Structures are given as structure tokens and as C-alpha cells.
Structure 1
């Protein structure tokens, strides 16, 4: 192609790298020659030669929960204009699956990895990353070269109890996640607030899904036990499942039972659902995590940084008839 355009190979390289050092006339000659020859530059090869792929790997725990879609939107907003592309993988509540996805990203030589909803250990993550910069979203990790971006989950749990207590509720249950998952701060915040108010806690485990929330409440209703007057659910999907079970038995929300979720997903905020929820600022988490990733790539040796945000209570019909 250099011969066909009447220029040197070095000049062709400058044109393909969009260097401003090339005159318009010579740029036009090279591009016209490339078009005539059907030439397309190998962008991956040029990126590898510069030791950058301009690609970021993003791992999500679950795409059935729209909070992760909100985080994704924040990430794409955060990297817009940076010249980076995003590669997405979906994990599961299985550290082995997550770690395999991280290893695949590293093998593909991404410049960094963002993890939303990671459930494994710090040591496992460090081993899978092999020095690749990373940002963990929704959880605080202590790993060299890994930043953390999250909302204060302990405060989220306490905020839910404080709200319900203020409305006069004293039998407040918490529909929690599985014991083995590392996301315990919402539970700890709930337990702390219940103790502060002198209330007896009631914990029930579910699987973070709408189906799981529905099953938990159906078991409550079938047991004949004294029902709580209010429930704080670990996430909005679980809360919506609880509301469905109550409606199917002719019970009202909040008249028979008040419900508070966590995540503030769009469907929960719909007037048709009216779910009171703790806003985790998912879009903001994604944007801040993206910027943290770009900063870490630019300065890989700096100490890990944790950015933690305050949650916000979004009161709607499910806990307050006047909302």
C-alpha cells in the first residue's frame, strides 16, 4: 500500500494511527490507496503493540435484576469519550463461574475489570486478576490494585427499620439472602436498628428473586404463625414477590403489611407497584466506578481507594398510605 500511495511505510502507519502530523494531501492519498486495495487496519494488533487494548471487562452477578442494568448504564456513561470499549460477562452466585469469567478477561488482555456483585474472596480475585487493574462495585475489597465503589449497606438496613418504626411498626421481619453470600451489611444494619429500638429480629432467607420473595411470604401465610406487620426485603425483586403473595391472598399493602425493598429499581418505582425502597444510586455507582477504572489505568501503582455513598429512602405507597 505504501508503494501504491507513493509514500513510506512509516507515513502509512501514522495515517492509520490518525496522527495529526500527516498533511491532508498525503492522508488522502494513503486512505484512497487503502480503499482501492480493500485494506482494513488490524486494530487489535496495533493496540497490543502499544500494550493497551482499550477494552474493559465488566462482570455482572445477574442481569435479571435491573439494578445491574442501571449500573451498566452508569459505566457506559462514565467511559464515553475515553476511547474504551466494554466487554460484558454474566456470572452467578457461584465464585467459580465468576473467577473463570475474570480469567477469561485477563487472557483477552483487557486493560481493566469492573465487577458488580462479586461473591468470591479477596485472595481468589487477586489470583484471577494476575495484576490487572480492577474496580469492585457494591462491595468493599482489600486487594492491591483494586478500588471499591459502593453504597453504605449497613446504613440501608438501619434506614429501613427506622422508617418502619417511625410508622408504628414493632414486628419487623427481614427477608435476607443466603447465609454464605458475603453481602451481610444490610442484615447487620437491620439487626443493629432492631436492637437499638428494643425489638426482636425475625430473619428469613430467600434467593434475591421475585419468585423467592413470593415463596417466603406464602410459607409465612401457610404457617399460621403471627405475621410481621412490616417486612424489609434485601432487594426490590424480593419485595415485589412478597407483595404478589399478599395480593393473591386478599391482603393489602400497606394496610395488612408494610413493605420496604432495596435498590430502587424502575419497576418498583412505578405507580402501579409503589414500592418504598432504599436507593443505592446504581447509575452513580457505575459512573464513579468507570472513572475510578480510568484513573487506575492511568496510575496503576497508587493505593486502593474506596468510595462509599449514603443511601436514600424513597417513600411510596407500600409503606405509607399517604405517599
Structure 2
């Protein structure tokens, strides 16, 4: 069977030959240079359209030492808080001429570093990391001087800016809210020990000490399944139940609520539950989860602006931007909340 040869890509030389002009003039037209007369511009564009010429944008970007591309690394796309950050990032760069490449780290430092190295090898102009779990040294080595902004974590790395919400204050807010409702046995379902996100835990411990209460820490992953498993194990142990539980994030809190419901326990009648992040589903009337708003969309928008300022050369030294968390009270902690 005879194979049809692959069609050759149309080049600037082809356009120039068809339009009866030089290749240099075609290049000027494609770069939208004002130095071309309207008549010649029209002739070149007409030939380009007739031949199906598509400019090699990557080549032109590399020639200008910019790719107009940002690498964006997310910890986990199963958690919609990162989708909210993505929306904020894309809103923040809208109209800037930049586009994003997305990778997912999945709480694996090795996967994170591979993604970062790929971004750098592909000559991304900058990198935004949402939920980075590796070390400062590994980050600096992988970036090789590429500008970066880290969301949700403060990093002390030259050239790396940080945008985050005050997680310590989030932990304090949670305990203050539950204590104000009369709870004294307040547990915190925390993340795995190895993850470098300890500020919510530290805020919880600080507030518990302030109120003279005994901390109750249980570790889990950051998923709905993990929250359900932790609560099921606790219920099976026969230990005295806390009257209130503050989960590290909303997904974990929802899993806890599911396990309590399966056992016939009422929320908040038997156990009050609250989370953190304020993802969209937390506000659903079917769930009504009290949460702490981390302003995920705003974090993405601020990170995008910080990155654009850095690429424009107007940002100065790397900065840290910290937002204030906001308590969102719903019926999972307070039956009177509407």
C-alpha cells in the first residue's frame, strides 16, 4: 500500500515567494511591525491565509527570551480549594498574554521536583506552586534562578515570593469559636506529621493552652476517606468522644461527619464539627459545614499579580503577602446558624 507523504509545513519563505516580497518583510508583518506599508501587509496576510501559514510562536518567543508561559504546580486537584486557586491565577493573568502549564505534585516530593525541573527545562518564565511540600534547598536547586511564587507556605528562598493565609490564626479562630459555644473537649484531626504545614496545628495548640484545655491530636491524610477512617477507628476504640472536632481541611471534616452519621450520632448535637478552606461544597445546605475561609481564589489572584510584577521587573525583592482568615459559621457547629 502506497503511503501518502506527510505535508510539509508552510514557511515564511513560501509566503514571501507567493506574495513577491522578501522573507524579512514577512517576518516584520508577523511581528506586527509598524514599518510595513498597508498594501504590502495586506499582500503578505492574504498569501499567508491562502497557503495556511501558521507562525511559529514558540520560536519567536524564545528569540525574545520569553515564552509567555507560567508553570503552575498543585498539591492535589481532588481538593477543590486548589481549583479555586487555579481560577484565581487565570483571572490574575487574564489579558497579560501569558498562558499556564499545570502539573500535580500529589504530596510526593519526587514528583514535585520532576515537575519543577520540567517547567524550567521548557523555559517557563516563572513558576507558581500551590501546596509545595519539599524543602527550601530542593526548591532553590530545581528552579535554577527561575522566578517563583509559593501559595499557602512561607519560604525563605532567594527570589521566591510567598502568598498565604495566616494558618496560625485559623487554628486559633477554630478553638475560640468552639470554646465560645461551650465546648471543652475539642479535638484536632491534623495532617500527616511529615508534611510541612503545621501552623493550623500550632494555632490550635496555642488557643487550647490559653483556655487551659487538654489538646487531643489525631493524624490523618487530607481526604474525605481519611477523615471517615479516622473517625470510624476512634468510635470503634470506645474512647470518650470529644464534643467538638476541628479538622485540618473541609474534605477531612466531611468524612468525619459521614462516619458520625453512619453511627447515628448527630452533628452538632452529639459532636460539633468544623473544617478549614471554605470550599464551595462546605456551604451546601445538605452539609452546612462551619469552616474558615482561606480566600483560595484571592490567593491565586495575588500570586498571579506578584508573578507578573516580578516578570515586569517592578516587584523588587521577593515579598510575603499574608491574608487574614475569616470564620464562616454554619450548622455543623452551631444549630442556630442559618
Band of TM-score, shorter chain: over 0.9
- Given the two structures, how large is their TM-score scaled by the length of structure 1? 0.98
| 1:132 paired residue number | 146
Gap regions ≥5 residues in structure 1 = none
Shift of 1:2: 2.1
Q: Is the 8 A contact 1:145 1:302 kept in 2?
A: no
Q: How many residue pairs align between the two structures?
A: 323
| 1:81 paired residue number | 95
Q: Is the 8 A contact 1:174 1:203 kept in 2?
A: yes
1:216 paired to 2:230 = yes
Larger Rg: 2
| 1:147 paired residue number | 161
Q: Is the 8 A contact 1:145 1:300 kept in 2?
A: no
Shift of 1:39: 1.7
| 1:230 paired residue number | 244
Q: Is the 8 A contact 2:290 2:333 kept in 1?
A: yes
How large is the Cα RMSD of the aligned pairs? Answer: 1.1
| 1:123 paired residue number | 137
Shift of 1:300: 8.0
Q: Is the 8 A contact 2:306 2:315 kept in 1?
A: no
Q: How does 1:174-323 map to 2 (within 5 A)?
A: 174-299=188-313, 302-323=316-337
Q: Is the 8 A contact 1:133 1:300 kept in 2?
A: no
The change in CA–CA distance for 1:23 and 1:322 in structure 2 (over 3 A counts) is farther
- Given the two structures, how large is their TM-score scaled by the length of structure 2? 0.94
Moved more, 21-30 or 253-262: 21-30
Shift of 1:297: 1.2
Gap regions ≥5 residues in structure 2 = 1-14
Q: Is the 8 A contact 2:309 2:315 kept in 1?
A: no
1:11 paired to 2:28 = no
User: 1:201-228: per-residue Cα shift (whole Å, max 9, x none)?
Assistant: 0000000100000011111111111100
Shift of 1:97: 0.8
Distance across 2 between alignment mates of 1:150 and 1:93: 18
Shift of 1:8: 3.1
